[in-house]
Amino acid sequence: MSRFSRNILITGGAGFIGSHVVRLFVNKYPDYRIICLDKLTYSGNLANLADVKKAPNYEFVKADIADFGEMERIVREYDVDGIIHLAAESHVDRSIVDPFVFARTNVMGTLSLLEAARRYWEKSETEFEGKLFYHISTDEVYGALELTHPEGIDSPFTTTASSSEHHHAYGTEFFLETTKYNPHSPYSAAKASSDHFVRAYHDTYGMPTLITNCSNNYGPYQFPEKLIPLFINNIRNKKPLPVYGKGENVRDWLYVEDHARAIDLIFHKGRPAETYNIGGFNEWKNIDLIRVIIKTVDRMLGNPEGESEKLITYVTDRKGHDMRYAIDSRKLQRELGWEPSLQFEEGIEKTVRWYLDNQEWMDRITSGDYQKYYEEMYSGR
Active-site positions read 139-140, 187
Contact 374/62 with Cβ under 8 angstroms? yes
Q: Enumerate the β-bridge partners of residue 216.
A: 253
- CA–CA dist 226, 309 (Å, integer): 19
- CA–CA dist 381, 378 (Å, integer): 5
Cβ closest to ligand NAD, residue 40 vs residue 352:
40
**Rounded to the nearest 5°, which phi and psi values hold at 37?**
-110, 130
Task: Give the angle subtended at the CA of 18 by the CAs of 81 and 254, to the nearest 5°.
Answer: 120
Strands (E), the chain: 6-11, 32-38, 58-62, 82-85, 132-138, 209-214, 216-218, 241-244, 250-255, 275-278, 283-285, 312-315
CB of 227 to ligand TYD, least distance (A): 4
Candidate list 22, 26, 113, 243; residue touching ligand TYD; CB under 6 A: 243
Cβ closest to ligand TYD, residue 73 vs residue 350:
350
Decide: residue 272, CB within 10 A, 0-12 exposed, 13-18 middle, 19+ buried: middle
**Rounded to the nearest 5°, which phi and psi values hold at 93?**
-60, -40
How many CA atoms are closer than 13 Å to the CA of 321, on its beta-carbon side?
Answer: 17
Question: Hey, what's the torsion of the CAs at 219, 225, 227, 229, to 10 degrees?
Answer: 40
- CA–CA dist 234, 226 (Å, integer): 12
Q: Which of residues 159-198 bind ligand TYD (CB under 6 A)?
A: none
Task: State the binding string over 31-70 for ligand TYD (x if CB under 6 A, else -).
Answer: ----------------------------------------
Element of type H or E holding 315: strand 312-315
- Kindly state whether residue 16 participates in binding ligand NAD, applying the rule CB under 6 A: yes
CB of 379 to ligand TYD, least distance (A): 34
Q: Enumerate the β-bridge partners of residue 85.
A: 11, 135
For residue 244, the partner it binds in ligand TYD, ligand NAD, none, with Cβ less than 5 to 8 A by kind, is ligand TYD
Q: Which of residues 57-116 bind ligand NAD (CB under 6 A)?
A: 64-66, 86-90, 105, 109
Candidate list 216, 275, 343, 351; residue touching ligand TYD; CB under 6 A: 216
Candidate list 20, 33, 191, 251; residue touching ligand TYD; CB under 6 A: 251
Q: Cβ–Cβ contacts within 10 Å for residue 280, how many?
A: 30
For residue 344, the partner it binds in ligand NAD, ligand TYD, none, with Cβ less than 5 to 8 A by kind, is none
Candidate list 21, 86, 103, 227; residue touching ligand TYD; CB under 6 A: 227
- Kindly state whether residue 286 participates in binding ligand TYD, applying the rule CB under 6 A: yes
- Kindly state whether residue 211 participates in binding ligand TYD, applying the rule CB under 6 A: no
For residue 38, the partner it binds in ligand TYD, ligand NAD, none, with Cβ less than 5 to 8 A by kind, is ligand NAD
For residue 286, the partner it binds in ligand NAD, ligand TYD, none, with Cβ less than 5 to 8 A by kind, is ligand TYD
Cβ closest to ligand NAD, residue 88 vs residue 297:
88
- Kindly state whether residue 39 participates in binding ligand NAD, applying the rule CB under 6 A: yes
Contact 354/255 with Cβ under 8 angstroms? no
- Kindly state whether residue 348 participates in binding ligand TYD, applying the rule CB under 6 A: no
Quick one: which of 380, 381, 367 has its CA closest to 45? Answer: 367
**Rounded to the nearest 5°, which phi and psi values hold at 54?**
-95, 0
Task: State the binding string over 204-233 for ligand NAD (x if CB under 6 A, else -).
Answer: ----------x-xx-----x----------
For helices 344-357 and 227-236, give the axis angle rounded to 10 degrees: 50
Residues of this chain that interact with ligand TYD (CB under 6 A) are: 92, 216, 226-227, 230, 242-244, 249, 251, 286, 318
Residues of this chain that interact with ligand NAD (CB under 6 A) are: 11-12, 14-18, 38-41, 43-44, 64-66, 86-90, 105, 109, 136, 138, 191, 214, 216-217, 223
